[in-house]
Structure 1
């Protein structure tokens, strides 16, 4: 595109030079000529080099002088025409060779379908997941025709992603993984249907894993139960959200109990910015930040028009205030503060600010407030949440060194896995296996046959295990760690009721965030469609039989960790 723009600018400049040159030429010759003829002659400069002796004979000019402007235009213009022709031929050849290379040599590859905004960042994410696989990137340009180029070693096809003929260019029927991730959830779903329709025409079926991006929270949870339109197609559909994965990773890595070890007081975090990423941070924190003090998490949210944005968040998740305490702070009030008056107990601050040019100022302001009251550069932990998409900004590059010097941490600058991390899934599978052995089990599917909605129930439990262990001064480490493993059974005897209650609180929070309410016991499918669960109530009201579900998993922690090559040791401070 840049090459065409340069050629167009040069051609326009030469056209103006030629037009002015012809006017001057005919003035010198004392001849009159129409505007139409001047345009015709100027265009002619790009088709042929004008031969002036012959041209002068036609006009009966005994003596003539070629103006400088016209001389430049008549010499250079044909070369511009030739450059355009060569560029067109090369572009066609590039398109042809790229299409042939994909059709002939690409098997079991990855097709990434995205738009201009997210494509480079998404490529980084996919490379983290599939290190040795070939990748084809299809970028949406909303035009019917297509063009090809290469980005590093990756063929990039630009065109209308909803055009089936362009989809076929990516050899999508021979791909092993397909990632659909535009900024529009509706477009993503339409693409999924189109791809499933294309794959249904194949005679020979093969297993294809499809990763579908859904950013809207309600749609995200709904589609988690989707496994594909037709099981016979061999498609395995997984729902993901880049923002959710960023938020989940950040929430896990910067949990407030890592920084505030007092234990008894109410935990408090701050989130700056309540756009999509900020909303996901709040929702992930609400589901994960449940600690041994049994107190509600307090979340200070800072943004402009904060009351309206909090209302929007509560429309997404109406029962959120049953899970966390929300402290809204207007952005202007925050900027005018000298100290963190209404949120002085914050132990972790997440900055999810959407405007690149304001990130440094907002981050510095947060550190400024707390340094004024605590005189420390590491308290609270201030995390600038995943700025991968804006690292190309020169403003951001210059800001990073300053921010790091005042104790601001940048989370995952290179990209994040769109898949669930292998270690988390291994532990989640162990939790599922333990739960499946209970006498009152309600789900008898094997892990591989479960959809992501039910897998997530175990994934969240697996992600929360480090918080439970930290409440006991413990952590899980690889078995080759030099520290000696503790006698966890002995420790658990003193703490199992507390930890079981903590796990119930976590489970309860996740259900409330997802819209479940308390009601009578129902058959599982109806229960999850209506989102009515008999156990949506405090720990104290549960029967011994229901409490056993949480206790049995705790009693198997050592065995589950051993299965994934880990042991439990005292935390090394």
Structure 2
């Protein structure tokens, strides 16, 4: 759509320029110039004919060729030739075969100058013919050539499933320069045209058939994203791909040495498989499957609602505006009011419980209003296993179509710090949100509305009467490489793991596996530690600034200054970090190992951990790992080209 708007602007500008340039020609050939100018402006109307969008340039060139050709051959031929209308049409048709009937001089000299109308007609016809043939050839052979190239080159992204959300992701990945291949059971002609225009290879067939994986170059891919609407289909494909990769990924010495000649490289890194799973039960099944994963691939689960929650809490952290309250050991807790507890609000609550750990040492409070409270409570229990050990939760059955939100607010204990509105009706969301702003003008209110609702964007940007209203993030804002592939954050998590390894070496303890050999759960645990780092900075009274910004060059703390500054904070923040680590494990169903004595791998399989205990029960040696998360903060930010300054 953006490309279409750009084409329309260019067309309009060209129409104005050509109109101006051709005006002087009107003295010599006034009639045709008027027709040409009229054509330039009339074809602007084609932008509103939806089914022509894919053929817009060819449609315009076709009209120019026909109108200009018929005019030239009828009105501008040499006076000795017949001015037959049928002859004009016949000669115009010849133009599309790259042949010009030269009837414009007595000698029929092919090198003589041609009238302006015929010049326009023959070049427009040539463009139409060549582009049509090219489109036809590419539609049949371009797909094969692109696919063969990707199979040799490798490193591409395979997306299994072509849903509405997958289409958004594909478009964003292509804009970012990624090579993408789509596999799906069936793809209709409109979808094929869409993928072709995006430069995406696609293959159809049974989604668990090895032949489809071979065609798409699965064993050479960098990422595989399973994005079918049905979770069970994604799980089936995941299992089939696992079996295929186990058979297809040969030992390094068995690989063909000719691969490098085609721009490829031997596949050293594990293939990353990303499964889109919306339902907590599906996630539970998946967690049981990943135990048996090979080192040849790594899989991670995600949901589009999870990405929305992560983006919202990243862009506007929950501590924003109440920093002093959360730094104060006696300060009030964070208190979220969630109105409507569907998938997106459940994910917001889940993310909040993962990253909302502060110096006030108070458990987060959640007040949940929903008309189907027992149903959503059960769903929430599948997603957040031991949430009641991490937060104080108040469930209330409320139907806002018959109850007044102001009355409900009066019955809630404690001060609410944030409101998240996600009802099933956009209009009700907006009305309740505006009413909440009137009642609690200082509390940020987040409203979920559809992507195409301009009113939600207006309310989001309004900085006067409705400045506290914020919209939920949209799917198109999170279905991209930053959030789905998460390359940068995983790189930083890898660095944090290396710091952890270094500390174990310093303590003469056996090191754990290298980052790439860790299972997905341990990598995810480190990633969430990184997500909490900005919160730690806030609690330290520091903020990050670009290292190369001359405005802050004198204020950026050196390594020595940082080490001295954090001394009084290390112990209280290490406590916070351990609470965050405990919450991460509890929310995913882990328990304390207690007196059970078993190998680490067996405890992991049973979701048991010997350090899932209160801070004061840890040994000093283990506490040091939590302290290190504070000590290495400066290194973490400098790796991103940020320096730290005092607020």
Q: Quote the residue 1:517 is aligned against.
A: 591
In structure 2, what is the Cα distance between the partners aligned to 1:158 and 1:273? 40
Is the Cα contact below 8 Å between 1:211 and 1:238 reproduced in 2?
Answer: yes
Q: Quote the residue 1:100 is aligned against.
A: 144
Q: 1:535 to 1:196 in 2, by over 3 A?
A: closer
Q: Quote the residue 2:548 is aligned against.
A: 480
By percentage of residues, which structure has more helix? Answer: 2
Q: 1:534 to 1:170 in 2, by over 3 A?
A: closer
In structure 1, what is the Cα distance between the partners aligned to 2:635 and 2:138? 56
In structure 2, what is the Cα distance between the partners aligned to 1:403 and 1:560? 33
Q: 1:185 to 1:418 in 2, by over 3 A?
A: farther
Which residues of 2 match residues 312-391 of structure 1 at below 5 A?
312-333=379-400, 335-338=403-406, 340-343=409-412, 345-353=415-423, 355=424, 358-372=425-439, 374=440, 376=441, 379-384=442-447, 390-391=450-451
Count of equivalent residues:
467
Q: 1:201 to 1:252 in 2, by over 3 A?
A: closer
In structure 1, what is the Cα distance between the partners aligned to 2:443 and 2:185? 42
1:262-284 deviation digits (Å, cap 9, x = unpaired): 33111111233322322222221
Q: Quote the residue 2:178 is aligned against.
A: 133
Q: Quote the residue 2:238 is aligned against.
A: 192
Is the Cα contact below 8 Å between 2:546 and 2:641 reproduced in 1?
Answer: yes
Q: Quote the residue 1:245 is aligned against.
A: 307
Q: Quote the residue 2:316 is aligned against.
A: 254
Cα-Cα RMSD = 3.6
Q: Quote the residue 2:120 is aligned against.
A: none
Which residues of 2 match residues 114-133 of structure 1 at below 5 A?
114-124=161-171, 126-127=173-174, 131-133=176-178
Between 1:453-462 and 1:549-558, the stretch displaced more is 549-558
Matched, 1:211 2:268: no
Larger RCO, structures 1/2 (Cα 8 Å, 6+ apart): 1
In structure 2, what is the Cα distance between the partners aligned to 1:507 and 1:221? 20
Structure 2: tracts of 5 or more residues without a match = 1-49, 52-133, 257-265
Q: 1:541 to 1:247 in 2, by over 3 A?
A: same
Q: Quote the residue 1:538 is aligned against.
A: 614
Matched, 1:299 2:366: yes
* Structure-1-length-normalised TM-score: 0.71
1:365-405 deviation digits (Å, cap 9, x = unpaired): 13422422x4x3xx3223346x6xx42x4xx2354324543
1:147-166 deviation digits (Å, cap 9, x = unpaired): 83234424475855526355
1:62-92 deviation digits (Å, cap 9, x = unpaired): xxxxxxxxxxxxxxxxxxxxxxxxxxxx999
* Structure-2-length-normalised TM-score: 0.64
Q: Quote the residue 1:284 is aligned against.
A: 351
Q: Quote the residue 2:639 is aligned against.
A: 563
Q: Quote the residue 2:518 is aligned against.
A: 450
Does the residue aligned with 2:193 lie in a helix, a strand or coil?
A: strand
Which residues of 2 match residues 456-471 of structure 1 at below 5 A?
456-471=524-539
Q: 1:517 to 1:202 in 2, by over 3 A?
A: closer
Is the Cα contact below 8 Å between 1:112 and 1:136 reproduced in 2?
Answer: yes
Structure 1: tracts of 5 or more residues without a match = 4-89
In structure 1, what is the Cα distance between the partners aligned to 2:315 and 2:191? 41
Does the residue aligned with 1:332 lie in a helix, a strand or coil?
A: coil
Is the Cα contact below 8 Å between 1:255 and 1:348 reproduced in 2?
Answer: no
Is the Cα contact below 8 Å between 2:575 and 2:615 reproduced in 1?
Answer: yes
